Amino acid sequence: MSPFISVGNGSKSFPGVRALRRVRFELLAGEVHAVVSENDAGKSALMKILAGVYSRDSGEIRETARR
């Protein structure tokens, strides 16, 4: 089964802060994930990139066609 959405080598920086560095994330249709880590680890930045609020500095996002 191919991923519903995947992020490959995603990176995002803000002035003086590297929020994400080479992130890899895959989500299969029907799965539920919890993104848990320390404060300032980039969780919100990743979710905002996936939602289209932020643009990524590098990497790629792939989304399969919805049925």
Residue 67's pLDDT is 56
Domain with 23, as residue range(s), is: 5-63
Would you mind telling me the total number of residues written for the chain in this entry? 67
- To the question of pTM greater than 0.95 for the whole model, the response is no
Ordered alpha helix ranges (H), the chain: 43-51
User: Using an 8 Å Cβ cutoff, are 35 and 47 in contact?
Assistant: yes
pLDDT tens string 2-42: 888 999 999 999 999 999 999 999 999 889 999 999 998 99
Q: Torsion angle of alpha carbons 42, 43, 49, 52, nearest 10°?
A: -140
pLDDT for the residue numbered 2:
84
Count of domains for the chain: 1
Determine the Cα–Cα distance for residues 58 and 12; give it in Å rounded to an integer. Answer: 7
